[in-house]
Chain A
C-alpha cells in the first residue's frame, strides 16, 4: 500500500476510557508492573509474594480510583487537545497519589516511604501507559484505512453490479418507472460503498441501505428471495460501523438463495438486550452449493472493523446449522453524540 494513504490519518488522542478493553488493558499492565517490582525487591518467591501484596495494597486502590475518575472525565479529556489531556491526566494522578499517601497513615496505618518517590513512580507508570496507548493507536490507525480500502474491494461484488445493471436494462423498455427506482437504489448503495466509512453511522441508515440492496436483488430473483424483517424493537439511534450488515446480506443471497431452485427466506432480527445491540441474520444453506469462496473475507472484514470500533465489547459469531447459516453480531448500544 502506498505510504501516502497512511499519512495524516492518525491524530494523537487519549484512549476512550469508557471502553472496557482500555480499562482492562490498564489494569493488566499495572498489575504486571507490580509483579515485576515485587520480583525485583523480593529475595525468594514467598518474599516476592509478600512484596506484591504490599505494593497492591497501595497500587490497586490508586488504579481503581484513577479509573473511576477517568471514566467520569472521559468526555472532557477527549475533547481537549492531546497535550492538555496528557498534562491533565498526569496532574490528576499526582494529586490522587499525594492524597492517598497522606491519608494512608491515619486511615490504614500503613508506613510509606518518601512522597517524592511515589511521585516519580506515578509519573513513570502513567507515562508508560500513555505511550503504550499512543503506540497502539498508531498501530491500529493504518489498519483502519486499510480495512476501509479492503472493504471497498470486497464489498462491490462485480457479479452483483453487472447483474443489477442487466436487470435494470431489462426493465427500461417495459417498466421505465421501476427502472428509475432501481437506479436510484443503486445510486444510494454505491454512494455509501464509495464513501469514507470510518465514522459510525445510525443503525436506521444501515437498515435503509439494506432494504435498497434487497430491492435490487429482488428485481433479479423475484419470489426466489423472501425477506423477513424483525426490527420493530430495534434501537434506531444506535451508532454502528457503516456496512456492518449489507455485506452479510450479500453473502446470504449469494450463498443461500442463488444456489437454490426453490424460494428461500433471509431473516434479519435486530433487538436491544442489556444495553447491547443484537443483530441476527439467518439464511438457508446448501452444503453442496458449488459457489466458491468469498464468504470468509466479508466476515473477517466486519469482525476487524467491529474490533477497531468497539474493541472487546463487540463480537461476531457465525454458525452453520443443518440447513441454515446464522451470523450473530453483538455491539454496545452507543447513541450519537449531540453535535
Chain B
C-alpha cells in the first residue's frame, strides 16, 4: 500500500456541509488509502476546470447539482486529456441508483459509511473509467452543454447558443454567435440527442431551428441551390438536394 502514490481526489458537491462531511470521512480512511485532496468544487463547471488544471485520479461527484447534474459532468470529464475515475454520491434518487446498478458504475449513498468509502477508493485506483455509453444511458435528458478541449482548457458551450454543427474529417465544428469550437463527437449521435433542437439540412450539417432566419437561393450555383441564412452569424449553409423539402416545411412553421 505505502508504495503507491497517494490518490489525487476532487470533491464535488453544491452543498458546503456535504463537502465538509466528505473531508471528515476521508480523514477517517486515511490510514488505509493514502490520498491527497487536490481540490473541491461547488459546481460542475468548477469541477471541470479543476480537473483540467491539475492531475486528478478520482472525482467524488454529487449527482444532483444546479446548472449541470453530476452525470453530465462525468461525461464532460471523460473527454479531457487524463479522464479521472468517478464515484457518484447521492442522497436519494431511485432512478439514478437503478441505472448505476445496471451499468456497474460506482456510487455511494449519503449518509456515506467510512467502510464503503474506503472500498470505493481502493477499487477506483484500478477501476476502468466509466464507459461513455453507460453515462449516456444514465443521462435523463439531453446535456445542457457541449464541451470542447483547447490548450489545457475546457470550454462549456451552452447548447442553446449553438447555431449549427458541421462534421469535418475527425471533428464536429460547433458554431456559436461568438466563435467556432471543435468537439470530438459524432453528428449522428448529436442528432439523436437533440431531435427537437436541431434539423439536418445536409449530410454533414445540423442546424438549430431557432437560429434560422430564412432561406435564400445561392448566388454561386447555377441550379439555384437553397441556403440557410442565420440570425446571428454571416455564414450560410447549403441545403442538400435530398433535404429541399425542409425549406418549405421550416419556412411555414
The answer to whether A220 touches B93, judged by C-beta atoms less than 8 angstroms apart, is no
Chain A contacts for B144, CB-based, 8 A: 288, 290
Q: For residue A336, give the distance in angstroms from its CB to the closest CB of chain B.
A: 38
- In whole angstroms, how far apart are the Cα atoms of A338 and B93 in the complex? 46
Chain A contacts for B21, CB-based, 8 A: 166-167, 169-170
The answer to whether B17 touches A290, judged by C-beta atoms less than 8 angstroms apart, is no
- In whole angstroms, how far apart are the Cα atoms of A221 and B64 in the complex? 13
Among A32-40, A64-72, A257-265, the stretch that binds chain B is: A257-265
Contact with B along A152-178 (1 / 0, CB 8 A): 000000110111011101110110000
The answer to whether B69 touches A165, judged by C-beta atoms less than 8 angstroms apart, is no
Interface residue range, chain B: 20 to 34
Chain A contacts for B20, CB-based, 8 A: 170, 174
- In whole angstroms, how far apart are the Cα atoms of A290 and B143 in the complex? 10
Q: For residue A178, give the distance in angstroms from its CB to the closest CB of chain B.
A: 10
Chain A contacts for B110, CB-based, 8 A: 162-163, 166
The answer to whether A221 touches B43, judged by C-beta atoms less than 8 angstroms apart, is no
- In whole angstroms, how far apart are the Cα atoms of A211 and B92 in the complex? 24
The answer to whether A162 touches B18, judged by C-beta atoms less than 8 angstroms apart, is no
Given A162-B91, A292-B140, A167-B17 contact (CB < 8 Å): yes
The answer to whether A221 touches B24, judged by C-beta atoms less than 8 angstroms apart, is no
Instruction: Please provide the chain A residues from 119 to 162 with a CB less than 8 Å away from any CB of chain B in the complex.
Output: 158-159, 161-162
Q: B66: which of A165, A170, A220, A258 is its contact (CB, 8 Å)?
A: A258
| Residue B111 at the chain A interface, CB threshold 8 Å | yes
Chain B contacts for A258, CB-based, 8 A: 64, 66
Interface size on A, residues (CB 8 A): 24
- In whole angstroms, how far apart are the Cα atoms of A171 and B18 in the complex? 10
| Residue B234 at the chain A interface, CB threshold 8 Å | no
The answer to whether A290 touches B141, judged by C-beta atoms less than 8 angstroms apart, is yes
The answer to whether B141 touches A159, judged by C-beta atoms less than 8 angstroms apart, is no
- In whole angstroms, how far apart are the Cα atoms of A222 and B18 in the complex? 12
Q: For residue B42, give the distance in angstroms from its CB to the closest CB of chain A.
A: 9
| Residue B128 at the chain A interface, CB threshold 8 Å | no
Instruction: Please provide the chain B residues from 1 to 56 with a CB less than 8 Å away from any CB of chain A in the complex.
Output: 15-18, 20-21, 24, 43
A164 (CB) vs chain B CBs: closest residue: B91
Q: For residue B138, give the distance in angstroms from its CB to the closest CB of chain A.
A: 13
Given A159-B92, A220-B15, A261-B24 contact (CB < 8 Å): no
Chain A contacts for B223, CB-based, 8 A: none
B22 (CB) vs chain A CBs: closest residue: A170
The answer to whether B66 touches A260, judged by C-beta atoms less than 8 angstroms apart, is yes
The answer to whether A170 touches B17, judged by C-beta atoms less than 8 angstroms apart, is yes
The answer to whether B17 touches A220, judged by C-beta atoms less than 8 angstroms apart, is yes
Chain B contacts for A163, CB-based, 8 A: 15, 18, 91-92, 110
Q: For residue A224, give the distance in angstroms from its CB to the closest CB of chain B.
A: 8
Given contacts A162-B111, A167-B17, A220-B18, 9 further A-B contacts (CB under 8 A): A158-B92, A159-B64, A159-B91, A162-B92, A165-B111, A167-B21, A219-B17, A222-B15, A259-B66
List the interface of chain B (C-beta within 8 A of A). 15-18, 20-21, 24, 43, 64, 66-67, 69, 91-93, 109-111, 140-141, 144
Q: Which 10 pairs between the two chains have the least Cβ-Cβ distance?
A: A170-B21, A170-B17, A162-B91, A158-B92, A167-B17, A166-B110, A163-B91, A159-B92, A220-B15, A162-B92
